[in-house]
Amino acid sequence: MQALPSTSANSPHARRPRVWGWVLLAPMIAWLVLFVILPMVILFVYSFCTRDDLGRVVFEFTFDNYRRVGDPIYLTILGRSIAYAALTTVLCIALGYPVAWFIARQREAVRNTLLLLVMIPFWTSFLIRTYAWITILKGEGLLNGLLLAVGFIPEPLTLLYTPFAVIIGLVYAYLPFMILPIYGSAEKLDNALVEAAHDLGAGPVRAFSEVIVPLTWPGIAAGVLLVFVPAIGMFAITDLMGGARVPMIGNIIQNQFSKAFNWPFGAALGVVFTFMFILAYALIQRRGARDPHS
Amino acid sequence: MPTPTASRPLLPSGLRLLNLGFGVWTVLVFIFLYLPILVLVAYSFNTSKLNIVWEGFTFRWYADLWSNVPITRALKNSLIIASFTTVAAVVIGTGGAWLLHRYRYRFSRTLQTLICVPMIMPEIVMGISLLVFFTVINLELGFLTVILAHVTFCFPFVLVAVQARLQGLDPALEEAALDLGASPLKAFWLVIVPCLRPAIISGALMAFTLSMDELIITVFTNGLGSATLPTVVYGMAKKGLNPMLNALSAIFILTTIAFVLFSSHLRKLSTR
């Protein structure tokens, strides 16, 4: 997937930069420093600050914000966010892997058409796609209407604002982000290797688990990064599908900045989340690096 | 359709069965992906306010949408923000890709990683870090802050798209232009940019779409007057069902389909 750092960007004819090379690149470097690095540094500093009675941030060093992150209430929410994100990731792999594999094994014309069909939901706003599920799951929504009309149920079920709805929303939003990178790996996979496994006596299950899955691991890893990490911090889908009943770490962070006005605590949560993200990223990258085919 | 073509050898029989199973699975997943959005589009023409029964065909919700001030204003805001973002992202992304391609900087690899950070960083962290940054430098939240935030996560996508195209570019092209007496700037503008056009256009489309759809970072960086379409839709969706939202969603979905078809057409042109 393109989101992962690519190998050297240089052309073989690249020269050492002189004055102009640096002058022209300077705005981009400045942009990255100003709007990516510096804000992160400030967020980090904020996380050690306190606030006054009016909610203004006071630069007075304290560890209290991090101590508060360790509070069981927040640890539970953090744990729940990770659990939901993990379940979403697993479901996305389970649903998406066969699709990616199947698309990769098709003739070019069929493959391109199927890929287009994955690209459309990939590029459709997740907000719109989440709203589609609200219209289906809501008390007066389509699914309840259908079930009532058929006489399956005597009264509308509560489908929205449940953990079930949150998971559906997350899986629905992130599934294309899992299919595309796995497809990228599956497409490069040489059929001869699969046949060799078969000729050497591996059954379909064994060929799949011991040859195909390890060879497509880079795609799975990229997919996990594109699904698991954003899903942990997502607050809009959990808000729309779960209401206030299933708060996630993203909702808590957003609350600190929009309603509770406790920016230092929100910053501390953000910093903890960032470190979790870096850790997950490093772990997955290392696992990928150990694989000789990545 | 698991029929292998002549160029592709037959899969072993066990795997063929597996492949057939995967085919059925693929169809089911596509139904899962498409049914909800198709239902949404269909019901945007329903006379009834609720989604349960089909009462009749109407364009009423589309007309309502058009006369709804918050929505049309948000659409205008989104278009303004996305346009500025796209122009800035294309300039920074294309220029950056070209410089990184042409010169061997001492810390190219570090820079390459840094460029990827805004693409993979959790959006919420980017949102809150930009919020505290804009607050510290005392920049009032509004159009400018949203555009700055959007450019930050959009230009890397343009850069990566252009980089991919540059890798297939013949270095002799620029050398020939320079040998024939063009200045480096002229060579870039008259020789390189036209070669990169498909990648630049698809990068621009990507930046525009990303900016139009972005919610999380926008929530943290926008002010009172700069509400974008996604933030307004988010607010409406939180309140519950609204037939106008169905109509708006249908427009979004159709626009996205047009965008995807156009980009894939571009890609075909660029690989030819």
CATH of the domain at A264: 1.10.3720.10
A/B interface, count of CB pairs below 8 Å: 310
Structure tokens at B269: 């042109």
CB A238 within 8 A of CB A166: yes
Tens-digit pLDDT profile for chain B (272 aa)?
444 444 444 555 666 777 788 899 999 999 999 999 998 888 888 887 765 667 778 888 888 888 888 899 999 999 999 999 999 999 999 999 999 988 888 888 889 889 989 988 889 999 999 999 999 999 999 999 999 999 999 999 999 989 988 888 887 888 888 888 888 888 888 888 888 888 899 899 999 999 999 999 999 999 888 899 999 999 988 887 788 888 999 998 999 899 889 888 877 776 65
Q: Provide the residue type at B34 as one letter.
A: Y
Q: Which residues pair with A192 in a beta bridge?
A: none
Q: Measured between CB atoms, does A17 come within 8 Å of chain B?
A: yes
Number of structural domains, chain A?
Answer: 1
Domain extent, residue A203, equals: 72-290
Q: Kindly indicate whether the ipTM for this predicted assembly is greater than 0.95, answering yes or no.
A: no
User: pLDDT tens, B177-211?
Assistant: 888 888 888 888 888 888 888 889 989 999 999 99
As a whole number of angstroms, the distance between CA A192 and CA A278 comes to 37
Q: What is the pLDDT of residue A200?
A: 81
What is the rounded CA–CA span in Å between residue A151 and residue A246?
A: 30
Burial tier of A197 (Cβ tally within 10 Å: 0-12, 13-18, 19+): buried
The verdict on residue A139 lying in a domain is yes
B116 to chain A, closest Cα gap in Å = 6
- At residue A249's C-alpha, the angle toward residues A283 and A280, to 5°, is 5
Question: In Å, what is the CA distance from B67 to each residue of A78, A133, B61, B76, B78?
Answer: 43, 26, 10, 13, 17
Percent of chain A past pLDDT 70, that is, above it, reads 93
Task: Find the farthest-apart pair of alpha carbons in chain B and give their distance in angstroms, rounded.
Answer: 72
Q: How confident is the model at residue A283 (pLDDT cuts 50, 70, 90)?
A: confident
β-strand partners of A69: none
The pLDDT value given to residue A97: 93
pLDDT at position A90: 96
Contact B113, A281 (CB under 8 A): no
Domain ranges of chain B: 1-32, 69-271
User: Does A14 fall in a domain?
Assistant: no
Query: Is the pLDDT reported for residue A160 higher than 70?
Result: yes
pLDDT per residue as tens digits for the range B223-243: 888 899 999 999 988 887 788
- In the three-class reduction of DSSP (H, G, I as helix; E, B as strand; rest coil), residue A50 is classed as strand
Of B15, B22, B216, the CB nearest to A236: B216
Structural contact between residues A58 and A52, judged by C-beta atoms closer than 8 angstroms? yes
Give the CATH H-level superfamily of domain B69-271: MetI-like (1.10.3720.10)
Three-state SS at A267: helix
A21 close to B (CB below 8 A): yes
Q: Hunting for tokens 């009309």 — which residue is that? A: A149
The C-alpha torsion from B229 through B234 and B240 to B242, rounded to 10°, is 10
Residue A11, domain member (yes or no) = no
Pick the residue of B33, B106, B220 with the most A CBs within 10 A to test the interface with A by mutation: B33
Rounded to the nearest 5 degrees, what angle is found at the Cα of A274, between the Cα atoms of A121 and A163? 50
Q: Give the DSSP letter of residue A212.
A: I
Domain assignment present for A67:
no
Do B39 and A132 touch, CB atoms closer than 8 A?
yes
Cα separation values, A32 from A47, B113, B116, Å = 22, 11, 10
Inside any domain, residue A213: yes
- Residue in B with minimal Cα distance to A273: B125
A188 domain-assigned: yes
Decide: A203 and B14 in contact? Cβ < 8 Å: yes
- Does A55 reside within a domain? no
Q: Which of A17-21, A105-109, B219-223 comes out lowest in average pLDDT? A: A17-21
A267-276 confidence digits (pLDDT tens) = 999 999 999 8
The answer to the question of residue A65 being in a domain is no
Closest Cα in chain A, distance from residue B228 (Å): 13
- Which residues, including other chains, have CB under 8 Å from residue A22's CB and lie 6 or more apart? none
